[in-house]
Amino acid sequence: MARINLLPWREWERKRRQREFGGMAAAGAILAVLAVVFTHIQIESMISGQNDRNQFLTSEIKALDARIVKIKDLESTKARLLARMNVIQELQSNRPISVHLMDELVRTLPDGVHLKTFTQKGPELTMQGAAQSNARVSAYMRNIDGAAWLTDPKLNVIETKNEERRRIAEFTLLASQKATAGQEAGTGGTP
């Protein structure tokens, strides 16, 4: 039998397998590194895209906030203008009422009674004056009660004084302005 030494061939085969394993391990390591780098680039790209979208949204939110501020300013301006318009309309509708009220005060005033002061706060009227007698003040109150634009007379104070040998009754009278059908409808018309 012939003797063949297989040791060097096994040694070469083992070295070849080690080289193959080392090459495959190196190729696997390179592929793993490439996969990690590719994944890292992909994730960075996604983060960059999301940051761009976030920045766009932030700039749009700032633009919308500026528009909201302008809208609030416009709404407050609108509210102020509407309030002014309401005041002007109210004054326009109440303009003839003042004329009717003054006319009614003159019509209801009996002879021997004159007013010194007249004040109005809303529908409430306060009249201070002097009369020749208490009966004339009473007649004035009856005239107010029957008037178209005045109602609810109340005598607050009456004092009888003697001035220059005459007897004078100084009075303070409260009354209310009557809401006529035209006023309630908002037309400010006559009764």
Task: Work out the burial of residue 175: count CB atoms within 10 Å of its CB; fewer than 13 is exposed, 13-18 middle, 19 or more buried.
Answer: buried
Each residue's pLDDT tens digit, 92-111: 877 777 777 888 888 888 88
Of 186, 191, 185, 148, nearest to 175 by C-alpha is 148
Over residues 49-58, the mean pLDDT reads 96
pLDDT of residue 69: 95
pTM of model > 0.85: no
Q: In the chain, which residue ranges form alpha helices assigned H by DSSP? A: 7-108, 134-145, 181-184
- Whole-number percent of the chain with pLDDT over 70: 90
d(CA 143, CA 153): 9
Topology, domain 96-184: Gyrase A; domain 2 (3.30.1360)
Helix pair 134-145, 7-108: axis angle to 10 deg:
130
